[in-house]
Structure 1
Amino acid sequence: SGSAGVDVATAIDVMLTTGDIQLVSSTLKGPLGYGLSALLLGRPSTSRQGIFVLPGVIDADYTGVIKIMLYTLAPPVSIPKGSKIAQLVPFQSQVPYALAVARGEGGFGSTGQPQVLFALDIQRSKPEELVEIRHPSGGKLMLEMIIDTGADVTIIP
């Protein structure tokens, strides 16, 4: 019985003036101890207030200040210093062959290879493909269609 997580408080006053993601220092510092890693999650009460915490993993060997990534859809929002907006849910890592990488205070991917991710501005140039739709009676229709980019709906013009 008891809580699955430990509350995490902000170390500073925070003002969310846009919907952009902000990185906020917490009052906690790694390592967590006992060889534990943890999931950093938002508290339900925080989400109900329109503040969203992006989930993250705190590795057992992380030694820096634990940071909270958060945003709001309805700025401006003021978060006073000491507000418990997130929680750490500890776990024992079960990765059988994890590489020994000294993480130190490096966080947010800073200990791995740099990543370059492809981005396509679909406002100006849409990813399109010529598609042939065939009817069982022999009829066919050729359409220039937008490729599904991961949205929930594909639209046929």
Structure 2
Amino acid sequence: AGSLGIDLETAVGVILIHNRPQKIPTTFKSPVHSSKHDVGALLLGCSSAGLKGILVIPGLIDADYTRVIPIVVYTLHLPLFIPQASKIAQIISFQNLVSAMMKGSKPMRPMRRDTSFGSTRPVAYLTLRMHDRPVQKITIINGKEQINIQALLDTGEDITTIS
């Protein structure tokens, strides 16, 4: 009940004989959640895997991905055997915020379905709709003039933006 993620088990035993990344199939098939393709997941290595010398490369699983989820691993301690049914990674599910923002509109990219490893389109979403904004009451003073406002603040390294 207290676990944040879902453990992934390796479907086969693997011997790592080089230090290049290698895909290992798991026993878990996507989609992560069946709520109309609005839940994706972040794949992360378990800390116990790192202690055994297994380095898991983090990855994102799209909400519309429909195949067995592989784990990409490598090691610096060769050779290394990973037995079948090893729990070396976990996935942490999260709501696809871009999908939630675009509900009812035409899909912006093709569905991933059974393809993997790669971008479906060169698009980046750098802003999201915020329901609870970091607003602060501030007073701006210029000489003898002053104004009190509720402001959305964004502090940068050498500049502050007030909206």
CA contact (8 A) 2:29 2:69 kept: yes
Structure 1 Cα separation of the partners of residues 80 and 59 of structure 2? 22
Q: Alpha-carbon deviation of 1:101?
A: 2.0
Which residue in the other structure is 1:52 paired with? 55
User: Residue 95 of structure 2 corresponds to which residue in structure 1?
Assistant: 92
Normalising by structure 1, report the TM-score: 0.67
What amino acid maps onto 1:75 in structure 2? L
Distance 1:61 1:10 in 2: 22
Partner of 1:104: 113
Whether contact under 8 Å (2:109, 2:121) holds in the other structure is no
Q: 1:32 Cα deviation (Å)? A: 1.2
How many equivalent residue pairs? 113
Q: Which runs of 5+ in 2 are unaligned?
A: 123-163
Q: Distance in 2 between matches of 1:101 and 1:41?
A: 26
- Rounded Cα–Cα distance in structure 2 between residues aligned with 1:24 and 1:111: 23
Take 1:101 and 1:2, find their aligned partners in 2: how far apart are those partners? 36
Q: Once the 2 structures are TM-superposed, how far is the Cα of residue 111 of structure 1 from its aligned partner?
A: 3.9
| Structure 2 contact 109–120 (Cα < 8 Å) conserved | no
Structure 1 spans left out of the alignment, 5+ residues:
114-157
Please show how residues 6-25 of structure 1 align to structure 2 within 5 Å: 6-25=6-25
Which residue identity lines up with residue 7 of structure 1 in the other structure?
D
Over the matched positions of the two proteins, sequence identity in percent amounts to 45
Work out the CA distance in 2 between the residues paired with 1:107 and 1:91.
19
